[in-house]
Amino acid sequence: MTALKIYNTLAREKQVFVPIEPGKARMYVCGMTVYDYCHLGHARVMVVFDMVQRWLRASGFDVTYVRNITDIDDKIIKRAVENKESISALTQRFITAMDEDAAALGVQKPDHEPRATAYVPQMLDIIRKLERNGLAYRAADGDVNYSVRDFPGYGKLSGKSLDDLRAGERVELNTGKRDPLDFVLWKSSKESEPDEVKWESPWGKGRPGWHIECSAMSCELLGEHFDIHGGGEDLQFPHHENEIAQSEGAHKHGFVNVWMHNGFIRVDNEKMSKSLGNFFTIRDVLKKYDAEVVRFFILRAHYRSPLNYSDVHLDDAKNALTRLYTALKDVAPDDKPLDLEEAHARRFAEAMNDDFNTPIAISVLFDLANEVNKNKDAALARQLQKLAGIIGLLQRPAQEFLQAGPAQEGAMPESEIAAHIDARAAAKKARNFAEADRIRAALLEAGIVLEDKPGGVTEWRRV
């Protein structure tokens, strides 16, 4: 089998994955800031890195997967104050919603899911080290900032020079900073802020900056030097660049070997944003589409490419996934283990080992489905189901998927479908074929396809 290669953003090339500790893979992924419902961008991060950890485990690695929760942040404070509720009540409500969305999408729970508020002592420890190393200073406004120009490697992840970055529009201007590029490590408390977000520190009461949170949680749970750090493309700069500066500046050695970034979600070829009115939460989408269809839609694109969301593309994903399930409907997989040496399995592994190339891996599944349809071979059906299972697909009984529908208004309930099928059977028995055809056409209009099987059995599925 070919070795696993991963595109390393830091190196700007695919590299053979060589873990720091043989046989073990330690991965940290930036998770959600929990002040609202998760959107499609969050869905992509969750599904992509769920796929990555699944393949690492399937490849024999002992994986430790950490995905954090940011439960203290300016947006969280603002939303809690607007809602007149506590920070903890707000964040717990949206953590519960996030867990529900992730479970619906077939996302396995990470090994660790740290909340930032539980790691403030570790954050303070890193800031103290940065201060001792001459990389942190207290500004006149009370904030503790990171001195970017004193860290020689700054910009190596984004590939930009300090002068390029300084000229960039994303740099926040703050008169309390020595340099516009400097970023906050510790925010001094304001009188107007709730007591719930005020921690004691050597620099007075305050709260952590966003970037220091991930440095502290990742290093505490995975060690100061670990294998893989992932997140959305939008986090490459400044968040991940700042994590490197903090962690390497504090510990004086390498931080992460491989940096992975998934591409943006676009909606009808425009960037998804609330201002454009094309912003979709996971819950919005699941009202219209089955959750496995959404997962399949995400995995059918390469994780680094842009992903264009539209109803047309979701409908196409639904039809494609239906074809795979249909292959398993009439051919029950046998109960033997996955044959890793079988030709399709080898091609699947080669695709996944080539920077998690799920589009090619999924094309192998379609080749298998065609063989199952042609040969009615239970061994090939098993290969199809088990290979798909590695990336979290095709694990429901086929008929369950084919008859499932999202909880949308107007969907015909199963009891009503059964009554129509019974009425059609009675019409056929009475040789009233016009009525039988009318019932079939009416069901099709309602999105229900009938299939007559030998022995007078009629099966149905939703379109």
Binding-site entries for ATP: 274
Residues marked as binding for Zn(2+)?
30, 214, 239, 243
Q: How many residues does the chain have?
A: 463
Order the strands of the 307-309 sheet from edge to edge.
Answer: 270-271, 265-267, 307-309
Do 115 and 92 contact (CB within 8 A), yes or no? no
Strand partners, 26: 64
pLDDT at 447: 82
Strand blocks (E) in 238-331: 256-262, 265-267, 270-271, 307-309
Rounded to the nearest integer, the mean pLDDT of the chain is 93
* pLDDT for position 400: 92
- Which pLDDT score, from 0 to 100, does residue 169 have? 41
Residue 338 structure tokens: 């996955």
Query: What is the C-alpha separation between 341 and 3, in angstroms, rounded?
Result: 15
Give the residue numbers of the binding site.
30, 214, 239, 243, 274
According to DSSP, the residues that pair with 261 across neighbouring strands are: 231
pLDDT < 50 regions, the chain? 169-171
CA atoms within 13 A on the CB side of 114: 21
What is the CA 395 to chain-centroid distance, rounded?
19
pLDDT at position 438: 94
Q: Residues 6 or more apart from 260 whose CB is under 8 A from it?
A: 6, 7, 8, 9, 49, 52, 228, 229, 230, 231, 303
- pLDDT at position 171: 44
